[in-house]
Chain A
Amino acid sequence: MAETKSVIGTKNKKGQTYTDTWKMMNEAPRTPSFFTGSEVIKEALRRASCDVMIAYPITPQSEAAALIGELFAEGYIGDYFRGESEFAVMSQCAGSAFGGARVFTTTAGPGTMRAMENFPMWAGSRLPIQMIVTCRGINSPLSIQPDTLEIAYLLNTGMLVWHAETAQDFFDWILKGYMVSEEPDVHLPLALCCDGFFVTHTKDVVNLTPADMCLPPYDPYRSPVPCMDMECPPVRMMRDPFVMKSNYISYATHASWQQEIWAAVERSRKHSIHWLNGLIDTENTDADVVIVASGTAVSQGREAIRLLEDEGVRCGLVKVKTLRPWPEEEIREATKNAKHIFVPEFNVTGWLAKEIRATIPNPHRVHAGPHVCGGMTMPPEIIVSEIKTALGMKTFSLAGRGS
């Protein structure tokens, strides 16, 4: 491989010190700061040694994209521009990554769907692009409010998919995400999702690493495929695809290529465990009732557990941090004692409950709900109500709330 001299300890053009990422994230002093989620994305990017950021406006990620433009003006980002559409943005991200750049972009809702063809292409080309998805409604009638339905569409693209609960998760996982997705045995794009507005437009105290420390730069020579070469796969595949050759071995090659993408998702498991301290977090999983959730539904579940404790109901919690890789064994272990498993979700289809049902023994234990969607909030009381109803306890209707 390439002769690489460590840049750790040297400074970039902005005077930031390239710092060992583990030390930066785990040992460097942190400064509490009161920021919106969008501002937190900007602060993470300030420290990410990012080469290229490509933007296109769509609520609720537009603010973060605009703030990163300020970083470009300040000289922290190598290049920054607006694409013609979300499809163009994701294609341009691919071009930048093929060229050996560390690439970042942000998207949301219908924009994610418009660009969807690119995501399996990114994964198939082993491009470690990081894409922030600030989830919002994607279906008619139009909504700009939080709704996690778009995550369901990303789960089978071959990308890594993580679901942040808080702005603090977001800050840390943007930086750690590059460390996982750029490993040579992984080298896949990462869709780092959050629930739009709840995270992006809410101020919270976030502990930031020092602004004068930054990630080591991306080394494209560690890629599992050759750096950009129009004559070599995967690029050559686009104008000379295997499918054009009607024979067993060409199909087998294409099939093996796809299998290798999912093998890389599997390989990301140990790196994700290392950087995120496990694929899930758990509390009180010896309880009969366990809530399993991802994103801000975890926060609502946590509050519901506090309310239930006041009524003498002990309840456990599983926070799912990574959806791809899917923490199958961890969820099976964490729910082995549960008689009832509740999966609160901000979407209409209940994709997380379906994943869990497909993972654990005795899946009838899973109560797929409560669900809200279209931007509705999820008061902890409706989680409490759902659980109490299932346990045969008396509960009050919340239907008149807000009327």
Chain B
Amino acid sequence: MSDYRVLPGPEHFLPPAAASMGIRLPNPGEAHINGVITSEDQAYEEAARQFLMAKVPTIFPGPLVLWAWNEKAAKKATAIRHLFNTLKECVQPSQKPMLIPMPDYRPKYPKINPEVEINPNHPNLTIWHNKIDCCIFIGVHCHQANLSLKIIRGGTSCYTIAMCAQAGHEDAMLSFRDASVDKIMRLADTVKRLKGTVQPRLSAKNGASN
């Protein structure tokens, strides 16, 4: 196994792709935390803890769930809304959960409006602008997700989580694979279960650092 660990940045002027550093994707039924293969159970706990510790825990849904192009996408979108509502219920007043969409991948620079969306080619603008210190990608095409996650790791200190419908993402600090409605709901349940057991960071680094 590689000694390299996928940790919150800012890592480097141009960080390497984690796969090139020997980080391998989990097999079905597994997840990874910081590039180390773990059970999914551990990943739910850690993801929920990270959300509950963050000052600005943020969900970034992508086109695969934002556009109701089939029944499964619509159900996932509903589950994500449930996850967001759960998060809002479980955090303390000092925390500010956000739901920021990634509706398409068209290059928008310099006109990206980080108030309303995240652009996969310039994700750090949204992270910096909103001081996001923990985020989850759901429903983003794999290549765009890898691209964004690596840029975020390179230039910000944001903790990244990816819930991938396919094989997962090495460039996130924590990644699930084979995402489904059930898995999104299970993450929401875990957040609810851990409510009050995790204290938010007081003077934590936030995503604005570079």
- List residues of chain A with CB under 8 Å of any chain B CB: 1-3, 126, 183-185, 187, 222-226, 231-233, 236-237, 240, 242, 245, 247, 249-250, 252-253, 255-257, 259-260, 262-264, 266-267, 270
Contact = CB atoms under 8 A, between A and B. Distances in A.
Contact of B25 (A2, A185, A255): A185
A184 B166 contact: yes
A226 B105 contact: yes
A193 B120 CA distance: 36
Nearest to A223: B141
B124 A249 contact: yes
A263 B146 contact: yes
B25 A233 contact: no
B71 A252 contact: no
Contact of A252 (B14, B142, B144, B146): B14
Interface stretch (B16-24, B30-38, B47-55, B201-209): B16-24
A243 to B, nearest CB: 12
A223 B63 CA distance: 13
B170 A263 contact: yes
Contact of B147 (A183, A185, A232, A253): A253
Interface in B64-123: 64, 70-72, 104-107, 109, 121-122
B170 A2 contact: no
Interface residues of B, number: 37
Given A245-B109, A260-B17, 20 more contacts: A1-B64, A1-B72, A224-B142, A224-B166, A226-B105, A226-B141, A232-B104, A233-B107, A242-B121, A249-B151, A252-B151, A255-B14, A256-B147, A257-B147, A259-B17, A266-B17, A266-B20, A267-B19, A267-B25, A270-B25
A2 B166 CA distance: 11
Given A1-B72, A185-B25, A233-B121, A259 B150 contact: yes
9 tightest A-B CB contacts, nearest first = A224-B142, A263-B19, A263-B17, A224-B143, A184-B166, A185-B167, A259-B17, A266-B19, A253-B121
B164 to A, nearest CB: 9
29 contacts: A1-B64, A1-B72, A1-B165, A3-B70, A3-B71, A126-B143, A184-B166, A224-B142, A224-B143, A224-B166, A225-B143, A226-B105, A231-B104, A231-B106, A232-B105, A233-B106, A233-B121, A249-B124, A256-B154, A257-B147, A259-B16, A259-B17, A259-B20, A260-B17, A260-B147, A262-B17, A267-B19, A267-B25, A267-B167
Nearest to A232: B105
A249 B14 CA distance: 10
Given A185-B25, A263-B146, A250 B109 contact: yes
Nearest to B167: A185
- The CB with the most chain A CB atoms within 10 A, among B71, B109, B125, is that of B109
A94 to B, nearest CB: 16
Contacts of A263: 17-20, 146, 170
Contact of B72 (A3, A252, A257): A3
Contacts of B24: 270
B166 A222 contact: yes
Interface string B124-154: 1100000000000000011110110011001
Contacts of B151: 249, 252-253, 256
B154 A252 contact: yes
Nearest to A185: B167
A253 B151 CA distance: 7
A266 B170 CA distance: 11
A249 B122 contact: yes
Contacts of B121: 233, 242, 249-250, 253
A245 B107 CA distance: 11
Contacts of B63: 226
Interface string B141-182: 111101100110011000000000111101000000000000
Interface string B1-33: 000000000000010111110001100000000
Contacts of B150: 256, 259-260
A236 B144 CA distance: 14
A267 B24 CA distance: 7
Nearest to B14: A255
Nearest to A262: B20
Contact of A185 (B124, B125, B142, B154): B142
A270 B64 CA distance: 26
Nearest to A260: B146
